[in-house]
Amino acid sequence: MQLLEGLTEAQLEAVTTLEGPLLVLAGPGSGKTMVVTRRVAHLVAEGTDPARILALTFTNKAAAQMRERVSALVGDTVTAGMQVSTFHAFCARQLRIWSDAAGVSPNYSIWDTTDQRDAAKQAVADAGMSTSNWPPASVLSTISAAKNRLVDAATFEQEATDFNDRMVAKVYNRYEAILRRNDALDFDDLLRLVARMLLDNPSVSASFQQRWQYILVDEYQDTNHAQFIIASSLAQSHRNICVVGDPDQSIYRWRGADIRNILDFEEHYPEARVVPLGRNFRSTGHIVSAAAGLISCNTSHRHKDLHTQLDDGAPITIRTCLDEHEEAEAIVNHFRAAAAQGRPWKEMAVLYRINSLSRVLEDAFRRADIPHVVARGTAFYERREIKDALAYLRLLLNPNDDIALRRIINVPTRGIGKTTLDRVAAHATATGCRLGEAIRQPSGVPELTDRARKALSRFTEMVDGWREAMTSSLLGLDLADVVSMVLRDSGLEAAMVNTDDGEDRVENLSELVSAAADRPIEPDEEGNLPDLDRQLAHWLESIALVSDSDAIDPESGAVTLMTLHAAKGLEFDVVAVAALEQGVLPHSRSAMDPESLEEERRLCYVGMTRARLDLLMTRAMMRTHRGLRDRTMSSPFLDEIPAAHAQVVMPVEPWQNTASSTPRGPTLFKVGDQVEHPRFGLGRIQRVMARPRGTTATIDFDEYGPRTLLVAQAGLERVGAEYDDTGA
């Protein structure tokens, strides 16, 4: 049978073990995706009803990929019945279906990180604490960790022993109250409430287990406690649970991932079959050995090393550069050389630890005219006008969502300013009603001016008008109609027209309308089309759960720039990992804690193992961060890579480049001079260096940014008088 062809013994075992608990330990490049998809296809081919299969992943992209690959094997009529979903999307959907059992409104809002921070900030203030001593973001991360362990506010308060936890407990209580009052859930709630429901409600749990008889969990090493509870509850009776993962690729500890879930799988399921896939089919020998050498420095690394039967290939390159600009240039040149040998751009990627590094790299690729995309799927939905539009829609579904309400009640300005809102809010608090209700009764608030009352009434009429239009079967609106109606009536669109970048914004808004029109409409469990409210809820939900890695399009024909986290699960012919510096990779925030340092090492390992043929690792000796230029120290990880597999490249003539060391001789240029270049136009010299091929100057061009050129060949002209200030 075709499904079982060309597999190694281990892979075959993983594909054909259909019943009972199964742990697949899949090293990078070990054919994990192929094994998983064939196993699902095999399950269906053996007569399992696809509707009984539930596959859970971490990203939408992984879910889409799995659905696609299984379809390719068994046809999409079969996969249509299958549930392939991310944990969060699965939970979000189940909570709308089982809202009564879970104790939430079916129209609940999902609050994103910004909304959460606003709520936490308010909670800190309500608790009488100062937001400077208790930064909302840090309090939130403690709360998030508690939620992921299924510890609610009351339990957290009971268990809080030290001062810090006791203070956080006060915030946690109030934060939860705010969420509840607003019919809002944060990301952690989605998992937590489903886990709680499965634990506490036997009939719901039974119904879930009846419905899905085969559970598959991808990236199991990254599951947190809530996800563990969900997966094990689902498999409780039939124990048909297959988990796939690799402890060496666990990189989400900071988000509550508990590596013990995968390490202790055999304890939870003593009858489990364990299939290690350690042979790498992806990368050439030097790359595999370099990565294996690095990961062997982790004390948590217990499994057999990765190995390959492919050729050795080329050693990896470890390159030290002078600064981030030269680093970006080195990567560009490296990629250009690979392209000259016939490698397509889409088979190349630059990986970095922190998003802020993308800028310099992006500039370099743009200047070099190389097609490139930065993986930032959430960027579109973070634009102000889009967030505003979505807030209107959220409010339409959930009138109790104060954060949405406050965001748009005066956008565009309609005379409902801070004073008015404060008065209404004070009144609402005093009378114990919600803000959303209070603005509907402006006459009940004595402090308001007539003008403010009128403005509030107009706002209410507008929203009510939309609701009516939505429920009117006569109009027969679809979701895209609703979106454009809101954009038009709210004045959001019209207000854009006169702003400086108005055209782009109007375009973004119409893109949002197209997105509403193009979104897939899934029929519900009974095969009926959901009503407009439900469609809106599903759409907003899918938007809330978009991630950066969702934007990666393998067919785009461009170099991909992304974080190391976003790169998990992907592979490329040529990979550059940038900024291997102390404090960046490993990140400075991991320095205190040995376990975090190990996670940074795993992150580096994940990055290295993305490369099939060619791996470049770079670091800069100087780097500008938050506007400050600093010397850097090399990452300890570079020293842990076995020398036999790496070729080390150092800068040719470092440190002849300070302002005082202007070379003597025929050079007419020195640091700070304004010069003109025939192609790049005006710029200012930042640096002059003696290099083997002649004197070079690094010039910050007004139009093209910094470039390093050979003075003898560049045809530079000095412009204007000499300046005393160097402008730097």
Partner DNA sequence: GTACATAGAATTTTT
Partner DNA sequence: TTCTATGTAC
Q: Which stretch binds DNA (CB under 7 A): 207-215, 286-294, 416-424, 682-690?
A: 416-424
33 as an active site residue: the answer is yes
Distance between first and last Cα of the chain: 69
Residue 287's CB is within 10 A of a number of other CB atoms, namely: 29
Nearer to DNA, 388 or 614 (CB): 388
Check binding of 255 to DNA (CB under 7 A). yes
Check binding of 727 to DNA (CB under 7 A). no
Tell the smallest beta-carbon distance from residue 25 to DNA (Å): 23
Binding-site member from 417, 465, 594, 727 for DNA (CB under 7 A)? 417
Check binding of 135 to DNA (CB under 7 A). yes
Tell the smallest beta-carbon distance from residue 565 to DNA (Å): 4
The answer to whether 315 touches 645, Cβ cutoff 8 Å, is: yes
219 as an active site residue: the answer is yes
236 as an active site residue: the answer is no
Binding-site member from 30, 83, 86, 618 for DNA (CB under 7 A)? 86
Nearer to DNA, 56 or 74 (CB): 56
Cα distance between residue 108 and residue 110, in whole Å: 7
Binding-site member from 11, 59, 213, 298 for DNA (CB under 7 A)? 59
Check binding of 419 to DNA (CB under 7 A). yes
Q: Which stretch binds DNA (CB under 7 A): 134-142, 314-322, 468-476, 639-647?
A: 134-142
Minimal CA–CA distance to 481: which of 532, 446, 436, 526? Answer: 532
32 as an active site residue: the answer is yes
Upstream peptide bond of 247 is cis (omega within 30 degrees of 0): no
Q: What is the dihedral of CA 141, 378, 258, 567, to 10 degrees?
A: -140
Binding-site member from 115, 385, 541, 548 for DNA (CB under 7 A)? 548
List the interface residues with DNA, window 171-190 (CB under 7 A).
187-188
Instruction: Phi first, then psi: give them for residue 595, nearest 5 degrees.
Output: -70, -35
Binding-site member from 11, 484, 560, 563 for DNA (CB under 7 A)? 563
Selecting among 219, 541, 598, 600, the annotated active-site residue is 219
The answer to whether 605 touches 248, Cβ cutoff 8 Å, is: yes
Tell the smallest beta-carbon distance from residue 32 to DNA (Å): 19
The answer to whether 364 touches 332, Cβ cutoff 8 Å, is: yes
b/e per residue, 292-326, with b = 16+ CB within 10 A?
bbbbebbebbeeebbebebeebebbbbbbbbbbbb
Q: Which stretch binds DNA (CB under 7 A): 67-75, 87-95, 303-311, 365-373?
A: 87-95
Check binding of 565 to DNA (CB under 7 A). yes
Cα distance between residue 167 and residue 95, in whole Å: 31
CA 517 to centroid of chain Cα atoms: 25
Please report which residue ranges of 201-310 form alpha helices under DSSP H.
Answer: 202-211, 225-234, 260-263, 265-268, 285-295
Count residues contacting DNA (CB under 7 A)? 48
Nearer to DNA, 1 or 628 (CB): 628
Tell the smallest beta-carbon distance from residue 719 to DNA (Å): 22
The answer to whether 395 touches 411, Cβ cutoff 8 Å, is: no
Nearer to DNA, 600 or 614 (CB): 600
Binding-site member from 66, 70, 89, 396 for DNA (CB under 7 A)? 89
Selecting among 8, 16, 17, 33, the annotated active-site residue is 33
Nearer to DNA, 225 or 353 (CB): 353
Binding-site member from 2, 271, 299, 418 for DNA (CB under 7 A)? 418
Nearer to DNA, 401 or 541 (CB): 541
Instruction: Phi first, then psi: give them for residue 684, nearest 5 degrees.
Output: -125, 135
Tell the smallest beta-carbon distance from residue 694 to DNA (Å): 31
The answer to whether 111 touches 179, Cβ cutoff 8 Å, is: yes
Binding-site member from 413, 429, 431, 658 for DNA (CB under 7 A)? 413
Cα distance between residue 369 and residue 335, in whole Å: 12
Nearer to DNA, 400 or 549 (CB): 549
What contacts 63, CB < 8 A, 6 or more positions away? Answer: 55, 57, 84, 85, 86, 89
Structure tokens at 461: 């009429």
What contacts 718, CB < 8 A, 6 or more positions away? Answer: 668, 669, 673, 674, 675, 676
Minimal CA–CA distance to 486: which of 464, 502, 457, 456? Answer: 464
b/e per residue, 135-155, with b = 16+ CB within 10 A?
ebeebbbbbbbbbbbbbebee
Binding-site member from 289, 590, 609, 696 for DNA (CB under 7 A)? 590
Residue whose structure tokens are 């842990």:
640
Check binding of 626 to DNA (CB under 7 A). yes
Site string for DNA, 310-329 (x = CB under 7 A): --------------------
Check binding of 302 to DNA (CB under 7 A). no
List the interface residues with DNA, window 427-486 (CB under 7 A).
449, 452
Cα distance between residue 599 and residue 603, in whole Å: 6
Nearer to DNA, 240 or 549 (CB): 549
| Amino acid, single-letter form, for residue 278 | G
Tell the smallest beta-carbon distance from residue 473 to DNA (Å): 35
Structure tokens at 602: 């795993």
Tell the smallest beta-carbon distance from residue 462 to DNA (Å): 16
Selecting among 37, 65, 86, 249, the annotated active-site residue is 249
What contacts 469, CB < 8 A, 6 or more positions away? Answer: 475, 477, 482, 485
Binding-site member from 8, 16, 71, 141 for DNA (CB under 7 A)? 141
Catalytically active residues are: 32-33, 218-219, 249, 610
For DNA, the binding residues (CB under 7 A) are: 58-59, 86-89, 113, 135, 137-138, 141, 187-188, 251, 254-255, 353-356, 359, 378, 410, 413-420, 449, 452, 545-550, 563, 565-566, 587-590, 626-627
